Structure 1
Amino acid sequence: MSDSKDSHETPFAGVSTSSDAAGAMEKVSSELYDLIGIKGKASDTQPGVTECSGKDRDKYFSIFHPWDLTPASTSTAELEGVVERLRQELPKHGWKVVEYGRDTSMNKNLSLTADNDEKKVSVKLGAHTKNTPPTLGLMVVSGCYQIPEGKKIERF
């Protein structure tokens, strides 16, 4: 998710209030939930606001939304199968898979990172099969927003 050749630069996501941007992030998380396609219980976490690296923290912000899905089935194969299936399905929905494989944790979780350049959003997800119960963990992060003139960034 980048606007330039430097893949570490966070792209500009537009002008928005932090509450509207958080609402857009919840919509993206909901779309991802639908793509996951297995029954289970999603954690009830709300998006948060953080600063954009190297930018004025009073004018620019980013939204992050961490959440977990605890599947109804505790099958390791099913959970890792979801990650594999998403690697195939996400590109059909405007996502580009930029990283896929085992992470560097002691548990060697199967993980995937994908960017949606149109929505200026990135998701990192991992099958945490060694957790009790096993979970699919997601971190959805927006690009960098600018607060409209005359508004203040709400921190939540």
Structure 2
Amino acid sequence: MKTRTRASVLAAPLVLTALTGCGMTDDEKDGVPFAGTSTSSDASDAMEKVSSSIYRMIGVKGKASDNFPGVTECSGKDTKTHFRIFHPWSFTPAKASDLDEAMERLKRELPKHGWKIVEYGPDTSRNKNLNLTADNDKKKVSVNVIKMSKNDTPKLSLNLVSGCYKVPDGEKVDRYPS
């Protein structure tokens, strides 16, 4: 699984570009909020819990991909002491006809659980995929959900990204937490 995590590091710039500068509020100059002090392993575990809660909100039968969170840098911060967590994963409903319901449930349920929807609508791709972007200011996490109904296997593509963490004094960022 470490290979998959390392491979997903390549996706980090895309994920961060899609989610950086969303509505998460903070005093940071670059719009990225301070998420607190944590080891990268603990922050990774916390991100998996956030992803699991979103999975439960989907509320239709299906399968989530088995991707692990990754660690990336905080723009303009010391890479030895500051980091962000990203977690790309997908959800494939048991029946393709449940894809619309899964997206509608997220649109309805996320705000009930502390998320603010900051963008909702079709993207500019040829397929005009439906996109939902939401921020959770309390958890310092953003999520972008893309409904990919025209894929060979219809699915939701989810990308989560945290605010900027600082490691505890005397520690360094672990780029590949277990």
**Which bracket does the TM-score occupy, shorter chain normalised?**
over 0.9
The partner residue of 1:3 within 14, 19, 26 is 26
Which residue of 1 is the match for residue 159 of structure 2? Answer: 139
For the residues of structure 1 that align with 2:27 and 2:120, how far apart are their CA atoms? 22
Cα separation, partners in 2 of 1:116 and 1:107, compared to 1, 3 Å: same
The partner residue of 2:146 within 111, 115, 126 is 126
Is 1:69 aligned to residue 91 of structure 2?
Answer: yes
Which residue of 1 is the match for residue 115 of structure 2? Answer: 95
Question: Runs of 5+ in structure 2 lacking a partner?
Answer: 1-23
The partner residue of 2:126 within 92, 95, 106 is 106
Runs of 4+ aligned residues of structure 1 deviating over 3 Å after TM superposition are none
For the residues of structure 1 that align with 2:91 and 2:48, how far apart are their CA atoms? 15
Identity %: 63
What amino acid does structure 1 have at the position aligned with 2:161? V
For the residues of structure 2 that align with 1:72 and 1:80, how far apart are their CA atoms? 12
TM-score (norm 2): 0.82
User: Once superposed, what is the RMSD of the aligned Cα atoms?
Assistant: 1.4
Secondary structure, in 3 states, of the residue corresponding to 2:159? strand
For the residues of structure 2 that align with 1:55 and 1:79, how far apart are their CA atoms? 39
How many residues get paired? 153
Which residue of 2 is the match for residue 27 of structure 1? Answer: 49
* Higher strand content, 1 or 2: 1
TM-score (norm 1): 0.93
Q: Deviation at 1:85?
A: 2.9
Cα separation, partners in 2 of 1:5 and 1:96, compared to 1, 3 Å: farther
Q: Deviation at 1:5?
A: 8.9
* Higher helix content, 1 or 2: 2
For the residues of structure 2 that align with 1:45 and 1:90, how far apart are their CA atoms? 21
